[in-house]
Amino acid sequence: MELLKYIFLGFIQGMTETIPVSSSGHLMIFKRLMEVNVDFDTIAILTNFGSLIAIIILFWNDIVKLIKGFFSYLINKDKDSKDEYKYCWMIVLGCIPAGLMGLVATVFDLLDTLEENVKFIGLTLLITSVFLYLIKDFKGKKDEEDISWKDAFIIGLYQMVAIIPGISRSGSTIVGGMFQGLKRETAFNFSFILYIPISIATSILGIKDLIELSVSSQTWILYTVAAIVSGIFTYICTKWFAKIVKEGKLIYFSIYCLIVGILVILFL
């Protein structure tokens, strides 16, 4: 039963990390529903790491291309690599708002109360639903090379808002990108490349907490299983979500967030 419990939590994280329904919100909801003795903070750190590995695998070719292009232009001024060089700086700019807000929230413990308020998560899921509904018919015209500094910064602000429990990170950044006129696939790719440095930073910050953990080797095995399950389902769901975005069917997630948000407010 213990193993199944951790497999289930890894499944929830993997299923919800990359689709626009808020993985942190869902973990908090299931924390309330399950009422079990589980360190959800540690689970969140480790399953997030599993999701990060899955995203890196999925976008490995893009990551390598960007890194090669960045240093090729930086060192040799290779004009063919200028777009990759610019794109890397766009990622840096897009991460700054969320990075600063995350630091402030950590130092002042701004989110602790919100994370325990499950009805607040229901409300933020409703907000996510509204934004997904607003962009349901957006197509956009901008490709990756057309992303401006302003676009990157504004998308970064949307990612900053996603620090609030119940606000989907992928949903907010894709919404932000599409509001800025990006094509659906362009917004999707920028959103997930933007996710990688933020998630790496989150994992690094979580190392201190993991080092201080005093648990049995059996519990570590359960944590590892949860992380692996999370990675597997993140990989599967991200590929599926890419197809959904391309087809312009984000309305499905809007309806889902609406239903779950209402149920959480009424019954939890």
Which pLDDT tens digit goes with each residue over 5-56?
A: 899 999 999 999 889 999 888 988 887 887 667 777 888 889 999 999 999 9
Q: What is the pLDDT of residues 67-92, one digit of tens each?
A: 999 999 999 999 899 999 999 999 99
pLDDT (average), residues 243-261: 94
Q: State residue 107's pLDDT score.
A: 74
Of 72-81, 113-122, 198-207, 235-244, the range with the lowest mean pLDDT is: 113-122
Q: State residue 35's pLDDT score.
A: 67
For the chain, give the mean pLDDT. Answer: 90
pLDDT (average), residues 119-127: 93
Per-residue three-class SS string for the chain: CHHHHHHHHHHHHHHHCCCCCCHHHHHHHHHHHHCCCCCHHHHHHHHHHHHHHHHHHHCHHHHHHHHHHHHHHHHHCCHHHHHHHHHHHHHHHHHHHHHHHHHHHHHHCCCHHHHHCHHHHHHHHHHHHHHHHHCCCCCCCECHHHCCHHHHHHHHHHHHHCCCCCCCHHHHHHHHHHHCCECHHHHHHHHHHHHHHHHHHHHHHHHHHHHCCCCCHHHHHHHHHHHHHHHHHHHHHHHHHHHHHHCCCCHHHHHHHHHHHHHHHHHC
Q: State residue 105's pLDDT score.
A: 82
On the question of pLDDT at 118 being above 80, the answer is yes
Percent of the chain scoring above 70 in pLDDT: 98
On the question of pLDDT at 106 being above 80, the answer is no
Q: Which range, 40-44, 112-116, 166-170, has the best average confidence (pLDDT)?
A: 166-170
Q: State residue 36's pLDDT score.
A: 65
Q: State residue 125's pLDDT score.
A: 94
Q: What is the pLDDT of residues 180-232, one digit of tens each?
A: 999 999 999 999 999 999 999 888 888 877 888 777 888 889 999 999 999 99
